[in-house]
Amino acid sequence: MSESITPTNQLGQEKKERIETAVMVTRNGRPRSLHERMTDYTIPGVSLAMINNYHLEWACGYGVRKMGEPERIDSETLFQACSISKVVTASAVLRLVEAGRLDLDADVNLFLKSWKVPAHQAQQSEVTIRRLLSHTAGISVPWFAGYHREQDIPTLHEILNGEQPSNTPEICVVAPPGEQFQYAGGGYCILQQLLIDVMQQPFPTLMQELVLEPLDMTHSTYEQPLPAPQAKMAASGHRKSGKPVAGNWYVYPEMAAAGLWTTPTDLAQFALELQCARAEKPHRLLSTQMVKELLTPQSHGDARGDMGLGVFVQGAGPGARFGHPGDNAGFTSCWVSLQQGGQGCVLMTNSDNGGSLQQELLHTITQVYAWPEIAPEKNHEGQNGQ
């Protein structure tokens, strides 16, 4: 265990210790610690941050950055946020909507300059920003495999057009926009190009200006490949066998969808911003009204929850949650926040095996912090056509 942000009170410290020492209990009643479960799952490193009562209560790293090497994980170690990148991108888009520079429900081709969404026979209605954010635009390419650091890395235009050396096909309309949820990282590549065209800046620069700097996310960047100074602070990704990813991590030029490097502490700052705005507490990024729009289900989504504007939403009432999971090559990430009460957590691992451990941690955290149960949501009609 290395540097950490420690709880400010004894109760917080006791909760931290309970989570560390009893992630799960075996059938014979024996508790298994976090380090034991990391060993069970062949996970080299874990980093987590806990939100309680609308503040960051504690954050800590466990294990090592790379299997077989001595550098320890601490609260400043960078991980790939994977698909959580999408939610941070969504907040940048919504800032420009609030500034009057974008329209949630207008045809995105009105804002795209250097590339356009190609016409398609399935397209009976418009591809809008709302539909791209909520994965209801009928766009192709669900996810991205990444690129070895030493191979040719495609440009964003090559990715959009499905041209070499892109390892994914053309990003285009493949189903009628506005009719149903269809998870599409490709839609966020379109949003990446839209933000570049509107802001006339490189994507990492505009994300720094619109989101990361205002929220003091000082250990976060969308730069791909990761620059040398940040690379010194980064964890290496690992496959299920425990073997490090070739080159330690892959490059994701699909930055808006999967390219954020960050820490659980920085992501907790982002999560707190949304929670505070929703609760009409002091906030810096989006209005309370816009955050409520972000949290409004646009479609029924999938097993992860209903889909808002970039976030998955589960349940209603005091136990209602929002957040996003993610996985890139060698990394898994998970963020869950309660809509009310200012509680939540961010969990990050440098392993393909992280999902199972994260679910165990979430179960334990829910019990230790006495989160309200998720109440069934009232029936609603999808709003993606609005």
User: Of 278, 323, 328, which Cα lies nearest the Cα of 305?
Assistant: 323
Please say whether the beta carbons of 194 and 148 come within 8 A: no
**Percent of the chain with pLDDT strictly greater than 90:** 89
What's the whole-model pTM score? Answer: 0.95
Own/partner pairs, 98-102, CB within 8 angstroms, 24+ separation? 98/286, 98/287, 98/290, 101/198, 102/129, 102/194, 102/198
Q: What is the pLDDT of residues 117-175, one digit of tens each?
A: 998 876 678 999 999 999 999 999 999 999 999 999 999 999 999 999 999 999 999 99
**Predicted confidence (pLDDT) at residue 378 exceeds the cutoff of 70:** no
- In this predicted structure, what is the pLDDT of residue 173? 95
What phi, psi does 291 have (nearest 5°)?
-65, -40
Cα separation of 360 and 351, whole Å? 15
List the single range of 5-19, 56-70, 103-117, 307-321 with lowest mean pLDDT.
5-19
Compute the radius of gyration of the chain from its Cα atoms.
Answer: 20
Q: What is the pLDDT of residues 289-318, one digit of tens each?
A: 999 999 999 999 899 999 999 999 999 899
What phi, psi does 23 have (nearest 5°)?
-60, -35
User: Of 339, 315, 310, which Cα lies nearest the Cα of 326?
Assistant: 310
Burial of 255 (C-beta count, 10 Å sphere; 0-12/13-18/19+) = buried
**Predicted confidence (pLDDT) at residue 385 exceeds the cutoff of 60:** no
> Quick count: other Cβ atoms within 10 Å of Cβ 57?
23
Mean of pLDDT over the chain: 94
> Quick count: other Cβ atoms within 10 Å of Cβ 62?
22
- In this predicted structure, what is the pLDDT of residue 8? 78
Please say whether the beta carbons of 343 and 369 come within 8 A: yes
Cα 151 to chain centroid, rounded = 26
DSSP letters spanning 2-22: --EE--SSHHHHHHHHHHHH-
**Predicted confidence (pLDDT) at residue 185 exceeds the cutoff of 50:** yes
Q: What is the pLDDT of residues 235-257, one digit of tens each?
A: 999 999 999 999 999 999 999 99
Confidence of residue 177 (pLDDT cuts 50, 70, 90): very high
Confidence of residue 3 (pLDDT cuts 50, 70, 90): low
Sign of the torsion angle spanned by Cα atoms 294, 300, 302, 306? positive
- Domain layout of the chain by residue ranges: 4-368
> Which is higher by pLDDT, 370 or 8?
370
* CATH no. of 4-368: 3.40.710.10
Q: Quick one: tokens of 273?
A: 């911003």
Provide the b/e sequence for 111-127 (b: ≥16 CB within 10 Å). Answer: bbeebebeebeebeebb
Please say whether the beta carbons of 67 and 318 come within 8 A: no
The answer for residues whose C-beta is within 8 angstroms of residue 33's C-beta and 6 or more apart is 20, 21, 22, 23
Please say whether the beta carbons of 15 and 368 come within 8 A: yes
Cα separation of 196 and 156, whole Å? 10
Cα 365 to chain centroid, rounded = 19
Q: Could you give the C-alpha distances from 263 to 56, 123, 135, 266, 351, in angstroms and in order?
A: 13, 39, 26, 5, 15
Q: With residue 355 as reference, give the H or E element that holds it.
A: helix 354-368
Highest mean pLDDT among 117-131, 274-288, 368-382: 274-288
Range 15-21 average pLDDT: 96
Range 220-226 average pLDDT: 97
Cα separation of 100 and 88, whole Å? 19
